[in-house]
Structure formats: C-alpha cells, structure tokens
Amino acid sequence: MAKADIVERVVDYIVKSIVEEPEEVSVTIVEQGPDDVVAEVRTAKSDMGRVIGRRGRVAKAIRAAAGAAGEEVGISVGVEFID
C-alpha cells in the first residue's frame, strides 16, 4: 500500500535514531485491511529494550508518532515489536 510509505518511513527513522545498531533495523508494513496496517519492527536483540523503553514508554511514543503518520494519509496504524 503506497499510502503506508509514510508510516514505514517515520517508524524506520525513529527506530534507527534510537538504537545502537541502525543497520539491524527493519520495518515491514503488513496490511490488515483497506485502511489498516501494522508496522512490524525488528532490531538487534540488544536494542529491543531501548526501543520499548521502561514500561513501554518509548514503544508507546513510537505508536503515537506512527499513528500521526497514518492520519496524514487516512489509515490506522498499529506497531508491533518483534524479537
């Protein structure tokens, strides 16, 4: 879904800015419905804690930022962190 490009770009940029090993980051957009995607985030094992943050604070912030990206193009966005 081309519309989801912005979501991928935003999530990829944020996660790569946070981790120690940006080259290990991958963001995959999985379509759930016509206007509904999930961004699957993978990082180096050692970085996952950083990306999720204490009590999920950082993960929550990434979800909010991704949601704002989705809103720009009218899709709803989920973010899953996969280890």
Partner 1 sequence: MSYVEIEVRAKTVDLAVEAAMQELGVDDREELAVTVVQEPERGFLGMGGTDAIVQVKRSKPRKRQRDRGKKGGDGSQNKGSRNRSGNGGRSRSSGKGRQNKGKSAEGRTSKGRDMSKRPDKKEDDRDDISIDKQTEIVKDFLGGLVDVYGLEGEVVTKVEDDVIIADIKGEQTEALIGVRGSVRSAIHELTRTVVQRYASDTARIRLDIAGYAERRREALTIYANQLIEQLMEDGGELMLEPMSSADRKVIHDAAAANEHVTSYSEGDPPKRYVVLARTDKPDGDEEE
Residue ranges binding partner 1 (CB under 8 A) = 6, 9-10, 12-14, 17-20, 46, 48-55, 57-58, 60-65, 67-69, 71-72
Q: HSE (CB half, 13 Å, CA atoms) of 51? A: 30
Looking at the Cβ atoms of 64 and 82, the one nearer to partner 1 is: 64
Q: How far is the CB of 46 from partner 1 (least distance, A)?
A: 7
User: In residues, how long is the chain?
Assistant: 83
Tell me how far CA of residue 16 lies from CA of 10, 49, 69, in angstroms. Answer: 10, 14, 17
Q: How far is the CB of 63 from partner 1 (least distance, A)?
A: 8
